[in-house]
Amino acid sequence: MSAPILWIALPFLTGALIMLLSSERFSAWIGGTVSAILALIALLIPIDTALLLGSLSIKISPAVQFFGRSFELNTADGSLLAIIYGLAALWFFGTEASGTANRFVSIGLMIVALLTASIAVEPFLYAALLLEIAAMLVIPLLVPPYQKAGRGVVRFLIYQTLAMPFILFSGWMLTGVEASPSDLGTTLQSGIMLSLGFAFLFAIFPLYNWIPMLMEEASPYATGFLLWALPTFTTIFALGFLDRYTWLRNSPQFVGSIQFAGLFMVASGGIFAALQRHLGRILGYAAIAQAGLLLLVMSLQNLEMVNLVFLTLIPRGLELTIWALALSILKRQANSLQFSDVQGLARKYPITTAALVFAHLSITGFPLLAGFPSRLALWQSLTNDSLVTLFWIFVGMFGLLMSAMRTLAVFVMTDDESAWELNESWTQILMLAIGVSGLFILGMFPQILQPLLTNLPSLFEHLGQ
């Protein structure tokens, strides 16, 4: 058995087979179980290492050839695969509680498989093509059958499609830069092309206007999955570029532009979130601010940069899962996520509203929650930067905190004195309770992630040197 077949072909084919199932419960359990098993295998069985079980020898080979392209997953990829499929399992187990199971699980598994292929393919520039295919596969999740796509969906697809030629062309030019690093003209052109490509992929201002629009138009759970999956693999793809090209990661201008873009996204995302009156749009702007934090982390030039990236990505997946699930439950009750329609829902859905607020506070970096350790580490890494940088990060986080306080006030605000009820199903309560427990565990005991983070820097040999 080869690793690409196990972690790419198998989940892709499983997703295709799930389409034949009619039961939402079975599709959710099958998709979640397959993802959880793949995560455990990645965690427990090293790739390209023979294991003896009595007289039986087991070895997962690292590479496979497909249409002349090589797909390779090495021993160092084990922790990354465990993180990816572990978080994917949470999304798939939560589909029954959100009411979006059958189609979501089948297409979601195929998307995760394609995105995993994007980190395994060689030459690595083909990852841009796989990211584009995955983005196109997201569309059936966002647009119900026989309905016209909204503006947010159209803009998302346009921006993702525009990113691909910029990245492919910049990769071709970067090959020339490696051969002749003294050619300043080619270096500048390739840097501009690469920056434009990743600006579209990361949805850097003003290219993030599709995110809040999409949160209003589409299913919150499907959009939340999109906001988790694509930025996660885009971040890994970007780290690959920085690792391969020495002049790129050592360029003060390029690093400075990454930091400025990240700072602008954090500040604008937090400020706009504080001004919103729609719960979905608040989640959209919070995701924008988080993407800005990832860019700020990637602008760091120290040995801990890779660990800090993944220390940010892991809680991010859990936070978005809880928040999107809570929004899906509330939307089924209120039919709209405007403040006026969800006012007082804490009395009817106390578990859901509490989980949403905890996920929101975790994204702001509230103490004892999952987002706090990465925010603290980022603050410590930026202590030598200017006060202007720290001030705008504080503005963004303060804006997210204010939006969390406004959301909580709307949930508990009511004119009548109706009794408190528990209207969530047991499945919904269980999923939300597991998620919130995870937020507190990761916040109070972040060291439990250390076994996963230990091997991840070896994926990028030159970063931080």
Interval 129-154: pLDDT, tens: 888 888 888 888 888 777 787 888 88
**Three-state SS for 323?**
helix
pLDDT band at 319 (very low <50, low <70, confident <90, very high): very high
pLDDT at 179: 54
pLDDT band at 53 (very low <50, low <70, confident <90, very high): low
Per-residue tokens: 88: 């994917």
Within 45-150, residue ranges assigned H as helices are 77-93, 95-98, 102-120, 127-142
How far, in Å, CA of 73 to CA of 3, rounded?
Answer: 6
The arithmetic mean of pLDDT across residues 23-49, rounded, is 83
How far, in Å, CA of 394 to CA of 109, rounded?
Answer: 37
Instruction: Compute the C-alpha angle 186/188/189, nearest 5°.
Output: 65
How far, in Å, CA of 227 to CA of 287, rounded?
Answer: 7
**Three-state SS for 52?**
strand
Domain boundaries, the chain: 123-456
pLDDT at 382: 81
pLDDT band at 441 (very low <50, low <70, confident <90, very high): very high
What percentage of residues in the chain have a pLDDT greater than 90?
Answer: 27
Question: Quick one: CA torsion of 197, 202, 203, 206, rounded to 10 degrees?
Answer: -70
CA–CA distances in Å: residue 53 to residues 44, 58, 300, 309, 414: 14, 8, 44, 36, 62
The least confident of 6-10, 297-301, 310-314, 408-412 is 297-301
pLDDT band at 111 (very low <50, low <70, confident <90, very high): very high
**Three-state SS for 367?**
coil
pLDDT at 63: 75
Q: What is the pLDDT of residues 175-213, one digit of tens each?
A: 655 555 555 666 677 777 778 888 888 888 888 889 998
Average pLDDT, the chain: 84
